[in-house]
Chain A
Amino acid sequence: MVEALTIVLAVGVTRNWRTAITGTLTAFVALAAIVAVFGPALRYIPIDTLRLIVGALLLVFGLQWLRKAILRASGFKAKHDEDAIFKEEVAEIQANATDWYGFVLSFKGVFLEGMEVVFIVITFGGTERGHYLYSVTGAAIAFVVVALIGAVVHRPLSRVPENTMKFAVGCMLTTFGIFWGSEGAGISWPGGDVALLAVLGFVLVMSWALVAVLRQRHAKLTVAT
Chain B
Amino acid sequence: MKHDDPKLIDALAAEFVLGTLGGRARRRFERWRSREWHVERRVQAWEERLAGLALRLTPMRPSPHVWANIEKRIGATAGPGTRSTRSAPAAQPRTSMWRPLALAAVIVVVLVGGYVAWNVTQRLQLHTEAMIADAKAPTPAWRVEANRDVSRLRLVALGGAAPQAGKSFELWALPDNGGAPVSLGLMPDTGRLDRDLTEAQRLALRGASKIAVSLEPQGGSKTGLPTGPVLFVADRIKSA
| A joins B in a complex | no
Tell me the B residues contacting A by CB distance below 8 Å: none
